[in-house]
Structures are given as C-alpha cells and as structure tokens.
A and B are shown apart, each in its own frame.
Chain A
Amino acid sequence: MFKKLLSILLAALMVFSFAVVFAGCGNEKSTEKGSDGLKVGFIYLHDENSTYDNNFLTAAKEACDKMGVQMVNKTNIDESDACKEAALDLVDQGCDIIFADSFGHEDFMIEAAKANPEVQFLHATGTKAHTEKLDNFHNAFASIYEGRYLAGIAAGMKINEMIESGKITKDKAKMGYVGAHPYAEVKSGYTSFYLGAKSVCPTVTMEVTFTGSWYDETLEKEAANKLISDGCVLISQHADSMGAPTACESAGVPNVSYNGSTVKACPNTFIVSSRINWAPYFEYAIKCVQDGKPIDTDWTGTVATGSVELTEVNEKAAAKGTQEAIDAAKADLESGKISVFDTANFTVKGETLKSYKADVDSDAEFKGDTEVIKDGIFEESKHRSAPYFDIDIDGISVIE
C-alpha cells in the first residue's frame, strides 16, 4: 500500500515539476553584471590539467584583469550539445562576449550565436566564420607556425650539438613528433617545426605519429616512447597533455614543447616551447565591444601582436647560442627577410611546389578552393586564420 502511495506521489512530483518548468518559461534573463559593465564567458574543453586549456585560462585571466571586466569560466565542456547549453547559460548570466577554445565546439557555438544576435561569440581554431557570415560569430588563431619554426631552430641547434659531440652521426639525425590528428593545424605545425630545424641542420629528418585524440596522456606517452625506440633523438608534440614531455624526461631525450613551459616537470630535457598568447586577442575583442566596433570575422595574431611567443630557453638542456639564433631568426621573420613556408626550402616528392589549392572554405566537398602560393611563398593563415597547410613534404615520414 505504502509503495503504491509513494509511486503516485513521485509521479505527481514529476508532473508538478513539468508544470513549474512551463510556468517558468517566460522568465526574464538575469542581466546582473559586474561594476565594470562587461561580462565575458569562457568555455573550455578540459581544465588546467591540460596544457592547451591552461594556456587559455591564463590568458583569459590576464586579459579580463587588465580590461577590468568580469570573467566566468566553464571548464570540462564536451564537444556536444553541452557546449551549446554552456553558451546559452552564459548568455542567461548576462555575458556580452562568449568564447570557446576547442575545435569541436564550433558548430554548437554557431547554433548559440544564431539564437543570440546581441551577444558576440568567439571561437579559437575554427574555420567557419568567413563562410557562415554571421555578424556575431568570429574565428581567431595565430601564426603559430612562426613560433614552431623558431622552436624548430632550437631543436636543430640541439641536434647539431649532438652531431658535433659525436653522440650521433649526421644520417642519424632524426626527430620525432607526436601529433593529435592528421589535421591541417597539426600538419602546418609540424612542418614549420621541421623547416625551422632544417634551416640550421640540413640533414635532419622527422618521424610523425598521430594519437587520434587531442588529449590522451597514456597514448601520447606511448607514442613518444615508440618514437624514441625508433631512434628519434629529439621529440616535439602537438597534443595537449604532459604525456610526451614526461616520457622524454624519463628517457632523457630532449623535448621541444608546446602551449607553455614544461620545465618544472622536465628540468633536464625541456629546451623551449612555443605558445599562442591569447591575451592580445581577448583584449582586442573586449575593446571592440566596449567601443561598439565590429570584431574581425577572422583574426590572426602574429609575433608583432604579441600572440606568438617563445618561452625562456632552458640553458640546461639547450645547445649553446640557442637564444641568439632564435632572436636572429625572429628579427628576419618580422622584417620579411625569411618566410617559413618559402617553397625554395622544401620539396614535395622531389619537386618544388609551384601552385597549391588549399581547402580554405569549409563545405561538403573537401577540395582545394583557393590558390595559396604567391611569389614562391605558401601564404599560411592569410585567407583565413586557421592553418590550411596540409601537404606532406619530403624529409617527414608519417607512421600510421
């Protein structure tokens, strides 16, 4: 009897909660804001344990403190409907700008942007803003290939040092690279890294392996160990956990890192790291909203905007003169004396690349739609902010 009563009671409760929801549907949005007026919401795929997300978290705090605006962080938001829910919840909380940091968030941000034309939606690494043509949805990236190139110089110097000291011979100069997905962003990154190393050590080759995940500590560790056992004498990575750097530290193999310094965990093997500093972009977007100006649909940060940075060189692991070589190359990049993707510096199947159509516009057909080589230079991040260099060049072998 009691059981029956309870069941009826619970069913009634459920019906009642429906009623509450329906009644509550017309609720006003809460528009409470900080004393400074603006409120910025951030959506992260993981939390501070991921080097990738931590890089965004640091920049968000820096930018919001500097601009005196309120910050709301939502971490561990999946690339699913959860992202749209999080974005809409941030709208309800009165955010004027909402930012998402992961590639897979893009479609869900677009959905949220369509529903809330008065709120600005920003998305890092995405590709669709220039084809979606929404006034309030924007992509951003940085010319990180320049940073990777400079980090590659540090790697090349280290390998030169190994050759000079007789530790390895010239033909054994092989680097390893742990990539996440065989996606243009990753390919552009490791190719520029390789070209940087090659600019100081012409005989260097590179082996690349993919984990198939942006964040998987175990897989990244295993991949790094496999590359080391394949004879790679230096490792770099484009994946977001500490897997590869820590594997290098235990094996005593030098590591060129990404997203920020890993020197604390890897004091003996960390050489240098390139990273995108997102603070300049956040500050730019906040300023635009404060001044009532439109935000660029596709924003590309550069060394000049302070978006592409190299961490301090770890003297303990790096070759002598690394910092000087990086500084010199950086000056040359800025002055336009050298270009990372100069077609004179690499070959594809033994030939110099004359023309290439990249898949710049995201559409159902994955076909090249834009000519990106001009005057012998592959113009990366010019036709949209997210990288589109996806060519397999000679000297780099991919193991599946």
Chain B
Amino acid sequence: MFAYLVKRVFQAIAVMFVISLIGFAIQDNLGDPLRELVGQSVSEEVRQELRDELGLNDSFLTQYLRFAGNALQGDLGTSYFFKEPALDVILKKLPATLELVMGASIIIIGLSIPLGVYTAIYPNTILSRLIMGISIIGISIPVFLTAILMIFVFAVELGWFPSYGRGDVVHVFGFWDTNFASLDGWQHILLPSIALASIMLPLFVRLIRAEMMEVLQSEYVKYAKAKGIRPWRIYFVHALKNTLLPVITVGGVQIGTMVAYTILTETVFQWPGMGFMFLEAVNRVDTPLIVAYLIVVGFIFVVTNTIVDLIYGLVNPTVNLARMGA
C-alpha cells in the first residue's frame, strides 16, 4: 500500500513537471512581458537593462529552473493586472469554483446512480425511454447554451432564481466563503450547478446504465438468482458494486474535467471563481495569471486522480495495492 502510494506520488510529480514545462513555455512565448510592464514610451536601452535585470536574456534552461524553483516555493509570478502574487489571486477565487464543482458533483452522484440503475433494470418502460431521450439532449447541448436557457427560463421569465453572482456567502474556517450556509447562497448556486452538471450527468447515467446492463447479464447475477436472493439485494449489492468500479475511474477524470468546464459556466453566471478569472486574464493578456491557472488546475487534476485511484484500490478487492507498488 505504502509502496503504491509512493509510486503514485512519483507519477504525479512527473505529470506536474510536464505541466510546468508547458506553462513556462507559454509564458516564454506569449507576448513581451516588458510591454505589459512598462508600456510603449520607454526607450530600447532601458528595456534591455530591465531585461537583464529580470533575467529575460538568460538561457531557456536557467529561466525554467528559476521558474520551477519559485513555483515549488509557491511563487507563480505576479499578476500584471492585480499587482499581487498570481497564486494568491487564484486561491481567493478557488473556493467559489470548488463549491460549484461540489454542487454539480452532488447533483451528478445523487441522480446518476438511481437513474442509471432504473434504466438498466427496466430498459423498456416509458420512463426509461424518456430519461434516455433527455440524456441525449443534455449531452448534445453545450454548457453555455444550457446556462443561458436556464437563466432565461428560471431567472428572467419565472424569476425563481437569481441570474448571476454568488449572493450571500458565509465566511467559515477563516479562509473559505461558502454558499451552502445560507438560503440565498443555495439559491445562487443551484442554477450554475445544474448547468455545470448538464453534460456530465447524462454521461454518467448512460455509463452506469451500460455497465449495469452488462453486469446483470453476468453469471454471478444469474447465480445469485439461483440462490434465491431477493431482487433488490441482487441489484444493489451484487450488481451495483461491480457496476461502480469502472465508473469510479471515469468519475475521477471527469471531476478534473469539470473544473475546466467551470470557465463556461462561471462566465455565463458571472460566478466569481477562477474560471471566470481565467477568461478575464486571457482578455488582459495577464500571462503569469494564465500560467498559474494552468498549473493550479493541473495540480487539482493530478491530486483528484491519485485519490480516485487509491479509492478504487480500496473498493475493488481484486486490486492489490501492496502488489502494485512492487
């Protein structure tokens, strides 16, 4: 188990190395930092001096090592626009994004399992056909369109929910603003969460349904029937556990993907998270912030995947983590 953990951490470090390389390459090639810093009116001589001072004339390797060394100490550069450390800017926006992802995840987990199981057990009922039909629509419509449609229907026409922002957030633990502690917060996060879930949820319903149908055809399910086990126990103990094993792996990847999807959702709902911030940074050519965003999102991706793999090993008895470390 420990050996496996160490192995996974090394893999994670390797992935982070590649991400940092890509991030640095972007920084190195995206525009001239001098123009952002000093504007047009400064003479070429002063510019050269500044370049030397900032180390922009050093070799690629020296510059990368400096960048990586700083990054390891939590210094991802300073945002041109905010004049603050880029990491601080992102960390301030992080809770909003993570809560949005959490809200979407709750919707996905809470709905995909019952819907997937139901449509697998009763594939021919009208309700199943309806669920499958809606899921196709959900997958087909892009997130930003779903979001705009929802704003139009539920915020503008019906007026049930607010159309933008986080609303009343409650400050907890000294560093985290949460939407889940007030009614206004809940009302604000509902529509964005649904919009963010709108692509993943149908995907998971279909995935769970397909896996479950296959499992229900298996010998061990037939055998459980031959032992006289009650149907609900066959479905939820024998079949569901086997169904969820592959779903967990896919789910881990999708949580990371969802963090990236928040760019669209947050922009439409003016959600003050890091996806919204990223789009603004791109508009302002705020290179350090863009790079810092890439690295932070990459880090979240790597961490969630590592955790999910460990969970998978704990849930699936046929995976021996101790042996996999060897």
Partners in one complex: no
Residues of A within 8 A of B (CB): none
Residues of B within 8 A of A (CB): none
